[in-house]
Structure 1
Amino acid sequence: MVRAGVRHCLLTGIFYALFLATLGIVPVDPFHAGNIGHFITVSSYIIFLFVNPLHKRDTFAPLNSGDGYPVSARFLDGAARIVIAYFVYQLIQAFRKHGRFK
């Protein structure tokens, strides 16, 4: 179960980094003066919103300065939803198997 959790976190981080790259947002150094607020804002979206496979498409509108989402961002968001939902399903199945009394 620990390995699945680590894989889930790694894949979610990779998908989120690629998603931000398609929106034109580059990672910033959080320890550089003035970047900590921007880093916290961008990082808070992954913790609470991007991990949820049922999030709305306009959830990330504050991060996107353009009019709409590029096709690559929509594709990555859809692929990430499928992968994240699969790992959530696997997590639920693992707890069901260990929680039943025989």
Structure 2
Amino acid sequence: MLPESINGQPNYYAILNVPNYSDDQQVMLNNFKSLMKLLRSNTRDYSRLANEAFMLVMRAYGVLANPSDKVRFDDELRNAVNDGRRELFEPDADGPF
């Protein structure tokens, strides 16, 4: 189970709809590309919400694709889970959007 947020930041695994602590960079990349394709068509309308979602997906992939950032994020996630500080959930099978 994953916290909804960790130290005030969103759960990047849930955003990319990948399993807990996944190391499968190909699945992350494929999910990232699918979300970017979906969001790019909506950001043309300059919707504030679409732009925020676009930036959130970019940040999620940026953190999880960078080995040192991913290790740091995983440590924070484990601490949040172990401390029971957040409401826990599993990412939906259909994805976050």
Question: In which range does the TM-score fall when normalised by the shorter chain?
Answer: 0.3 to 0.5
The structure whose Rg is larger is 1
- TM-score, normalised on structure 1? 0.36
Structure with a larger share of its residues in strand: 2
Q: Which has the higher contact order (CA 8 A, sep 6+)?
A: 2
